[in-house]
């Protein structure tokens, strides 16, 4: 067994590797950027080395710094995790040339599978079925446009060096192809340093099926069955599961056999995933499943495979890298139950899933019934420099319905503030009746996006939240203080020789004003008198009795967590017409810190509602900011290449008269 390993990664996967390495007695070395100085994985490693500033291109993506850290700490091996340099063949070769053990496939296998067009050619030669499309060297816009027309729309544009859903565009109409191609090439160049693309026929009811394979240095290759990653949004996986729903034994044998054949074709060693696209219009069939690509690394969703097989894939990686044979033969690997994984992102579904950054003042994840692989902890911070995934929730059940129920319940127990998350969205996905019945394809979320992102709250927690503060306020106002000695704020609604009149009190729920009226009934003017009150909100519904919690009206906002979501109740009185300052409807604000990639308009230009004004890059993704109405660009401060902070006014529109 290896004596020590340096983890060339961060966050959740670094913690995951550290956990297994510690169980095996392997010393762990973490490398970290300035932004991650206090991250959990840094604290948990045996040794930690600072390798540069926050931007990944100055730290985690610099091979020389990582290899230097390995030499400095006496590391025997380097584990790349996933993302960053994990599929960089040159880095893998540099690690080997430095006399270190590379925990991954040979550089030759990474190269063979790293470029989608070359990988498809290898698969065709190996007899693995592939989807129809264009893999040519001619990358001119004219040739690509002609090939797309030949394939027939819709088509899929995919970055040759892409992965993780980046550098991918679905094009429905010929008229949209040029703009989509330019956007895809730009994102591919920024993410992978390679703007080449390939074209594929878009399958109208696609399922994303992938097979976990594992090879050792003794020539053995096995599979650990399939996963279904069809529940996606914009080609980003949302919920993954194993095994795949609707997979019969004949189809399983065919697709898993094809995956093993693919791995053998490139002399694969270590953990890898062979991805297939299935035409599910007539259910899963062996003749309707085609090779897409191979990921030459451990996948984000590997825990669902671990849950149904009872195996630790990181342990397998460490053992294979140590020269040991595979822990089990193919006949010894079996499926037990069902597993599902949800990716918890720091993003706000209510604003189109824009990433959310900031401190994690309140951070609670479920315990006990599910496995939680977390990147952060309470008191930490989500920065704009890295992927917004902050945790993975993995549920295991006796069958698919049981696993879905457990996953949905786990998502409902998530409590995070003030960073926004997709927890409630995940809970709705996992509990959707069609999803539970197995009716899943890659268009599932898009077809139900409005209902899946709609915020839902029951009356009880909402009314209780208001009641908690108001009852405390009324207690302090009329029961515990002599009214004649009260400050003016204590005399709200007071009337001589009678009960106080009804009072309209300020309340904002999630930043929006909500009418709130309190009427006191009976009682006298001093402490000990028998006061009571009626409280109504919005449509006149009465508030039921609730327990009084510490705090008084006018304190800091109150937060109520329900179903994975959170509501903010702000009772702070505003004097002199104050309140939240908001930009006018025509102001285009930066939704998060980031870099302006391009500006598509000029000052004085007329624009139409929905037209893209500029593109902001943040947390490894592009975000198009569009015109909210027809108008004219009155002001434009955004400059391509410029860095901006959250809330900055980038442009202002004036409506057309």
For residue range 577-624, what is the model confidence (pLDDT) as tens digits? 333 333 446 888 888 778 899 999 999 999 998 899 999 887 667 788
Instruction: In whole angstroms, give the CA distance from residue 326 to residue 319.
Output: 8
pLDDT attached to residue 470: 60
Within 267-399, residue ranges assigned H as helices are 302-309, 313-321
pLDDT attached to residue 508: 72
pLDDT attached to residue 462: 58
pLDDT attached to residue 585: 63
Q: Do residues 339 and 304 lie in contact, with contact meaning Cβ atoms separated by under 8 Å?
A: yes
pLDDT attached to residue 221: 98
pLDDT attached to residue 465: 59
* Secondary structure class of 636 (helix, strand, coil): strand
Q: Across residues 60-89, what is the average pLDDT?
A: 97
Q: Do residues 105 and 268 lie in contact, with contact meaning Cβ atoms separated by under 8 Å?
A: yes
The answer on pLDDT for 424 being more than 50 is yes
pLDDT attached to residue 485: 42
Q: Across residues 31-52, what is the average pLDDT?
A: 97
pLDDT attached to residue 492: 45
What is the β-pairing status of strands 541-542 and 371-374? unpaired
Instruction: In whole angstroms, give the CA distance from residue 79 to residue 247.
Output: 33
pLDDT attached to residue 558: 75
pLDDT attached to residue 38: 95
Q: Which of 76-85, 273-282, 525-534, 619-628 has the lowest mean pLDDT?
A: 525-534
Contacts within 8 Å (CB) and 24+ apart, 605-610: 605/632, 605/633, 606/630, 606/631, 606/632, 606/633, 606/656, 607/631, 607/632, 607/633, 607/653
The answer on pLDDT for 355 being more than 70 is yes
pLDDT attached to residue 365: 96
The answer on pLDDT for 476 being more than 60 is no
The answer on pLDDT for 33 being more than 60 is yes
The percent of residues above 70 in pLDDT, for the chain, comes to 82
Residues contacting residue 137 through CB under 8 Å, at least 6 positions apart: none
pLDDT attached to residue 517: 62
Q: Across residues 252-274, what is the average pLDDT?
A: 95
User: Is 371 considered catalytic here?
Assistant: no
- 3-state secondary structure string, 517-565? EEEEECCCCCCCCCCEEEEEECCCEECCCCCCCCCCCCCCCEEEEECCE
If you average pLDDT over every residue of the chain, what do you get? 85
**pLDDT tens digit sequence for 115-125:** 777 888 889 88
> Residue 3 phi/psi, 5° resolution?
-90, -30
Q: Do residues 343 and 11 lie in contact, with contact meaning Cβ atoms separated by under 8 Å?
A: no
pLDDT attached to residue 382: 93
Instruction: In whole angstroms, give the CA distance from residue 10 to residue 31.
Output: 8
pLDDT attached to residue 481: 43
Q: Which of 77-91, 438-452, 550-564 has the lowest mean pLDDT?
A: 550-564
Q: Which of 128-137, 304-313, 531-540 has the lowest mean pLDDT?
A: 531-540
The percent of residues above 90 in pLDDT, for the chain, comes to 60
Tell me the pLDDT band of 560, cut-offs 50, 70 and 90.
Answer: confident
Per the residue annotation, which of 15, 297, 428, 500 is the catalytic one?
297
Within 52-115, residue ranges assigned H as helices are 63-73, 89-97, 107-114
**pLDDT tens digit sequence for 155-214:** 999 998 876 677 899 999 999 999 999 999 998 888 888 899 999 888 888 899 999 999
What is the β-pairing status of strands 270-279 and 643-644? unpaired
Instruction: In whole angstroms, give the CA distance from residue 488 to residue 76.
Output: 72
Q: Do residues 176 and 187 lie in contact, with contact meaning Cβ atoms separated by under 8 Å?
A: no
Domains of the chain from N-terminus onward:
4-103 (3.40.50.20), 132-201 (3.30.1490.20), 206-336 (3.30.470.20), 344-454 (3.30.470.20), 459-570 (no CATH), 587-655 (2.40.50.100)
Tell me the pLDDT band of 544, cut-offs 50, 70 and 90.
Answer: very low
Residue 117 tokens read as 């067009």
Name the DSSP class of 499. P
């Amino acid at each position: 067994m290896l004596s020590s390993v340096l983890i060339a990664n961060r966050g959740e996967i670094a913690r995951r590797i550290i956990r297994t390495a510690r169980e095996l007695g392997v010393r762990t070395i973490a490398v970290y950027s300035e932004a991650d100085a206090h991250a959990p994985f840094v604290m948990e490693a045996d040794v930690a080395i600072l390798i540069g500033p926050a931007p990944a291109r100055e730290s985690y993506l610099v091979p020389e710094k990582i290899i230097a850290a390995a030499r400095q700490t006496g590391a025997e091996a380097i584990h790349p995790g996933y993302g960053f340099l994990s599929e960089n063949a040159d880095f893998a070769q540099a690690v080997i040339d430095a006399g270190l053990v590379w925990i991954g496939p040979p550089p030759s296998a990474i190269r063979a599978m790293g470029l989608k067009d070359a990988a498809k050619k290898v698969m065709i030669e190996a007899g693995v079925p592939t989807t129809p499309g264009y893999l040519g060297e001619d990358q001119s816009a004219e040739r690509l446009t002609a090939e797309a027309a030949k394939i027939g729309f819709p088509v899929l544009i995919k970055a040759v060096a892409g992965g993780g859903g980046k550098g991918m565009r679905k094009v429905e109409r010929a008229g949209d192809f040029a703009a989509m191609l330019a956007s895809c090439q730009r994102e591919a160049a920024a993410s992978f340093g390679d703007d080449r693309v390939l074209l594929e026929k878009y399958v109208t009811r696609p399922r994303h099926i992938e097979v976990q394979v594992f090879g050792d240095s003794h020539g053995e290759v096995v599979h650990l069955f399939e996963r279904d990653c069809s529940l996606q949004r914009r080609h980003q996986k949302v919920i993954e599961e194993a095994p795949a729903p609707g997979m019969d034994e004949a189809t399983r044998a065919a697709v898993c056999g094809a995956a093993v054949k693919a791995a053998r074709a490139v002399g694969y060693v270590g953990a890898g995933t062979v991805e297939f696209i299935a035409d599910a219009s007539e259910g899963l069939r062996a003749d309707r499943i085609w090779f897409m690509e191979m990921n030459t690394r451990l996948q984000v969703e590997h825990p669902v495979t671990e849950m149904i097989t009872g195996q630790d894939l990181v342990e397998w990686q460490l053992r294979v890298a140590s020269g040991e044979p595979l822990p089990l033969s193919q006949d010894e690997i079996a499926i037990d139950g069902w597993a599902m994984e949800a990716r918890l992102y720091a993003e706000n579904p209510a604003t189109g899933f824009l990433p959310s950054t900031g401190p994690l003042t309140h951070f609670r994840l479920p315990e006990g019934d599910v496995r939680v692989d977390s990147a952060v902890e309470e008191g930490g911070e989500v920065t704009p420099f890295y992927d917004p995934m902050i945790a993975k929730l993995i549920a295991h059940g006796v069958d698919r319905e049981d696993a879905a129920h457990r996953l949905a319940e786990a998502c409902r127990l998530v409590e995070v503030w003030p960073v926004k998350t997709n927890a409630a969205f995940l809970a709705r996905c996992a509990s959707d009746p069609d999803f539970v019945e197995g009716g899943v394809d890659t268009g599932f979320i898009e077809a139900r996006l409005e209902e899946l992102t709609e915020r839902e709250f029951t009356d009880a927690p909402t009314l209780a939240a208001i009641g908690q503060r108001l009852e405390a306020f009324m207690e302090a106002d009329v029961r515990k203080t002599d009214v004649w000695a009260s400050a003016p704020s204590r005399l709200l609604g007071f009337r001589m020789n009678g009960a106080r009149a009804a009072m309209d009190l300020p309340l904002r729920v999630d930043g929006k004003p909500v009418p709130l009226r309190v009427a006191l009934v009976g009682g006298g003017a001093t402490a000990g008198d028998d006061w009571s009150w009626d409280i109504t909100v919005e449509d006149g519904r009465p508030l039921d009795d609730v327990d009084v919690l510490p705090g008084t009206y006018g304190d800091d906002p109150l937060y109520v967590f329900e179903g994975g979501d959170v509501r903010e109740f702000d009772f702070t009185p505003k004097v002199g017409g104050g309140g939240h300052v908001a930009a006018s409807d025509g102001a285009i604000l930066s939704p998060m810190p980031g870099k302006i990639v391009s500006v598509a308009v000029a000052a004085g230009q007329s624009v139409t509602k929905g037209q893209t004004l500029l593109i902001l890059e943040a947390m490894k993704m592009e975000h198009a900011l569009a015109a909210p109405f027809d108008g004219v660009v009155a002001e434009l401060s955004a400059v391509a290449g410029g860095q901006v902070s959250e809330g900055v006014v980038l442009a202002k529109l004036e409506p057309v008269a």
